[in-house]
């Protein structure tokens, strides 16, 4: 091999190693919040969907937002992920003000989410859905993808390998990796959606009713998965959930919204016994 060929090979190897290199981690001071929401408000015309919410998400924590239907929970999520710009207030993530930042930039910074209604690509396989989730990490441009250069092919194979690893991590059997998402069970579709969110390497994972439609055994397994992801990936999870058993089992802190207003916050057992929370769920008792 000539010196020039050896140099080219070395340069190509360096580029390959750079592909999907883990994002440089922003280190926060101990005790500093991962995300800090200050007086967040969202108004649609004359309707105030979320009103003056101040909320902190600690590092390496699992916290929940609960409330009856129409409480403003999903609107709150949409503000944190950039889908909605707050009408008032401020959102700080990793020490940076991200209020009104585009969703793709917030994803790249390290915020990922799932949706209340599953939004997988039904005619793509489970593995292909997870590969899509890595698009913010891929280096290939439009022309590289069209021309199918060797570097693009190497990058795609690496993305495929990572996708398999994440599917295994969330408990999907290998036999399901190449099944169309539409043919998977409801519980497995939920797992694939979580895997797709994890593919963007988040520091904060937002789960919008992840156990909806699951049987008790599937819900129990998902509770264990959330703890595992928090511990092994050193991330925080913000959870919207109607299953109170899941909320009580997994949450370190619970915040309750009602008609867009925060009415309670604290440890799960204390929140569950709060008279304002009982009234919001069951109505005022005569």
Encode pLDDT of 104-139 as tens digits: 999 999 999 998 888 899 999 999 999 998 876 555
Regarding whether 100 and 210 lie in a shared domain, the answer is yes
Do residues 277 and 172 both lie within one domain? no
| Shared-domain flag, residues 212 and 251 | yes
**Domain co-membership, 127 together with 251:** no
CB contact at 8 A, 65 and 35: no
Residue 27 lies in a domain: no
How many residues are present in the chain?
A: 286
Shared-domain flag, residues 47 and 173: no
Structural contact between residues 130 and 199, judged by C-beta atoms closer than 8 angstroms? yes
Give every residue of the chain whose pLDDT is below 70, as ranges.
Answer: 1, 3-23, 136-152, 282-286
- Residue 285 CB neighbours (<10 A): 7
Dihedral, 63, 66, 70, 72 alpha carbons, nearest 10 = -30
Strand order in the sheet with 236-240: 111-113, 204-208, 236-240, 62-66, 253-258, 261-266
213 in the same domain as 278: yes
On whether the CB atoms of residues 149 and 207 are closer than 8 A, the answer is no
Q: Is residue 21 part of a domain?
A: no
Host H or E run for residue 8: helix 3-18
Residue 10 lies in a domain: no
Query: What pTM value is reported for the model?
Result: 0.84
pLDDT of 226: 95
Residues 189 and 206 in one domain: no
Dihedral angle of Cα 14, 18, 22, 26, to the nearest 10 degrees = 100
Give residue 28's pLDDT: 87
Domain encompassing residue 141 = 123-201
Q: How many domains does the chain have?
A: 2
Final residue of a structural domain among 201, 223, 238? 201
Residues 128 and 259 in one domain: no
In a domain, 14, yes or no: no
CATH of the domain at 245: 3.40.50.300
Residue 111: predicted pLDDT: 96
On whether residue 135 sits in a domain, the answer given is: yes
- If asked whether residues 231 and 267 sit together in one domain, one would say yes
Is 15 among the domain residues?
no
In a shared domain, residues 98 and 230? yes
pLDDT in the model for residue 237: 98
pLDDT for position 12: 47
Domain boundary residue, one of 153, 176, 201: 201
Cα separation, 202 vs 234, whole angstroms: 10
Q: What is the pLDDT of residue 11?
A: 54
With respect to residue 73, please indicate whether it lies within any of the assigned structural domains: yes
- The confidence score (pLDDT) of residue 35 equals 97
Boundary of a domain, candidates 158, 173, 201? 201
* β-pair type (204-208, 236-240): parallel
Distance CA 259, CA 46 (A): 14
Same domain, 180 and 210: no
- Residue 5 domain-assigned (yes or no): no
Q: Rounded to an integer, what distance in angstroms lies between the CA atom of residue 269 and that of residue 249?
A: 10
Asked if 196 and 224 sit in the same domain, the reply is: no
């Amino acid at each position: 091999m000539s010196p020039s060929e050896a140099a080219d090979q070395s340069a190509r190897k360096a580029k390959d190693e750079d592909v999907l290199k883990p994002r440089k981690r922003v280190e926060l001071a101990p005790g500093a919040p991962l995300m800090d929401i200050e007086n967040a408000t969202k108004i649609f015309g004359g309707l105030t969907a979320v009103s003056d919410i101040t909320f902190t998400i600690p590092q390496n924590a699992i916290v929940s937002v609960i409330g009856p239907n129409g409480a403003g929970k999903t609107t709150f999520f949409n503000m944190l992920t950039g889908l909605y710009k707050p009408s008032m207030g401020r959102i700080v993530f990793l020490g940076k003000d991200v209020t009104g930042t585009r969703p793709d930039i917030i994803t790249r910074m390290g915020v990922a989410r799932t949706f209340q209604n599953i939004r997988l690509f039904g005619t793509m396989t489970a593995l292909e859905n997870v590969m899509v989730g890595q698009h913010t990490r891929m280096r290939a441009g439009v022309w590289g993808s069209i021309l199918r250069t060797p570097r693009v092919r190497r990058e795609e194979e690496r993305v495929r390998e990572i996708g398999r690893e994440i599917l295994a991590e969330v408990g999907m059997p290998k036999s399901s990796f190449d099944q169309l998402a539409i043919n998977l069970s409801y519980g497995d579709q939920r797992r694939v959606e979580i895997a797709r969110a994890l593919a963007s390497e988040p520091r904060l994972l937002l789960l919008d009713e992840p156990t909806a439609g699951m049987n008790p055994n599937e819900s129990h397994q998902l509770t264990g998965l959330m703890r595992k992801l928090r511990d092994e990936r050193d991330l925080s999870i913000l959870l919207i959930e109607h299953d109170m058993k899941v909320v009580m089992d997994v949450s370190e802190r619970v915040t309750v919204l009602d008609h867009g207003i925060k009415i309670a916050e604290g440890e799960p057992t204390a929140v569950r016994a709060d008279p304002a929370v009982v009234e919001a769920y069951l109505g005022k008792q005569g």
